[in-house]
Amino acid sequence: MSYRSNFYILNDLSAKLLKKSIDKRRSTGKFNVSLKYYEAYALYLFIGVSLDYTKDEQRRVTREILSQLDQKLT
């Protein structure tokens, strides 16, 4: 996957996640998002790269998300 295509996929994915978070902003629980395989893979790559730049508590949550994506992708 090229960097350019990954950028556009992540751009579309961020819009999708933003819309979902706006729709669910009143609820306090978790919400699910269905992703296509290429969206999940692009998100997996992005999280893997950005993991080193997160703070301690955010790193734990980020690893949890990364683990869930890895389970779904395999």
Q: What is the 3-state secondary structure (H, E, C) of 7-68?
A: HHHHHHHHHHHHHHHHHCCCCCCCCCCCCCHHHHHHHHHHHHHHHHHCCHHHHHHHHHHHHH
pTM of the model: 0.67
In Å, the largest CA–CA distance within the chain is: 37
Per-residue pLDDT for the chain (74 aa), expressed as one digit of tens each?
677 888 899 999 999 988 888 887 777 777 788 889 888 888 888 888 777 666 777 777 778 888 888 888 87
